C-alpha cells in the first residue's frame, strides 16, 4: 500500500501551488536568473494564477494517504493544440515534489495520473536545471506552448 494518494487541487491549495512553483522555479531555472527578481516573481506569479484557472488546465496534488492536507507534490498540466497538428496534447507546465519525498515514485505517479509518461513523451513549458540534465528522448522543452494563453492581464 502506498503512503501517498493523488487528488485534484482544491481551492485552498491554489496559493500553495502558485507560490511554491514560482519560488522553486526561481531557485532551479537557468531562465529565472536572467530576469530581475521582481519582474520574474510578478510575471510568473500572474502566469500561474492564470494557468491554474483555465478550464484546460489540470492540477493534481500528491498528499499523505492519511491526511490529504499534507502535500508532498503537485503537477500543473494543460491540454493544448500544437500549431502543426489538430490533435490535443497534454503539456506539462510544472511538476514539484518536496525534496524529502523524492525517489519514492511520486513524480512518476503524478505524470501518469495526468495522462503523461516519460516513455511516450510530452512537451513542457518550464525548464528546471535538474529536469534539463535528465536524458529523456521524447520529452521536449517547448516554452511556445504558453502561446496558447489568450489573455495575459
Alpha carbons 72 and 97: distance in angstroms, whole number? 6
Mean pLDDT of 1-24: 95
User: What are the pLDDT digits (tens) for 20-57?
Assistant: 999 999 998 888 878 888 999 999 999 999 999 999 99
Band of the pLDDT at 146, cuts 50, 70, 90?
Answer: confident
Q: What is the CATH number of domain 4-148?
A: 3.40.630.30
CB 50 within 8 A of CB 152: yes
Band of the pLDDT at 100, cuts 50, 70, 90?
Answer: very high
Position with higher pLDDT, 83 vs 49: 49
Task: Supply the pLDDT for residue 5.
Answer: 97
CB 52 within 8 A of CB 14: yes
Band of the pLDDT at 67, cuts 50, 70, 90?
Answer: very high
Task: Supply the pLDDT for residue 143.
Answer: 84
What are the start-end ranges of the H helices in 11-128? 14-28, 37-53, 106-113
User: What are the pLDDT digits (tens) for 109-140?
Assistant: 999 999 998 888 888 898 887 777 777 778 88
Q: What is the rounded average pLDDT for all residues in the chain? A: 89
Residues 6 or more apart whose CB falls under 8 angstroms from that of 56 comprise 78, 79, 80, 148
Q: Is the pLDDT of residue 3 over 90?
A: yes
CB 4 within 8 A of CB 72: yes
> At which residue does the C-alpha cell 522553486 appear?
24
Amino acid at each position: 500500500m502506498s503512503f501517498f494518494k493523488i487528488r485534484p487541487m482544491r481551492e485552498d491549495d491554489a496559493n500553495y501551488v502558485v507560490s511554491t512553483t514560482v519560488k522553486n522555479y526561481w531557485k532551479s531555472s537557468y531562465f529565472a536568473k536572467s530576469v530581475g527578481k521582481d519582474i520574474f516573481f510578478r510575471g510568473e506569479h500572474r502566469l500561474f494564477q492564470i494557468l491554474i484557472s483555465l478550464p484546460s488546465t489540470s492540477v493534481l496534488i500528491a498528499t499523505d494517504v492519511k491526511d490529504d492536507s499534507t502535500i508532498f507534490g503537485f503537477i500543473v498540466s494543460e491540454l493544448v493544440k500544437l500549431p502543426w497538428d489538430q490533435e490535443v496534447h497534454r503539456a506539462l507546465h510544472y511538476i514539484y515534489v518536496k525534496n524529502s519525498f523524492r525517489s519514492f515514485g511520486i513524480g512518476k505517479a503524478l505524470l501518469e495520473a495526468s495522462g503523461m509518461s516519460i516513455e511516450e513523451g510530452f512537451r513542457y513549458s518550464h525548464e528546471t536545471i535538474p529536469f534539463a540534465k535528465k536524458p529523456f528522448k521524447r520529452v521536449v522543452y517547448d516554452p511556445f506552448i504558453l502561446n496558447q494563453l489568450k489573455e495575459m492581464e
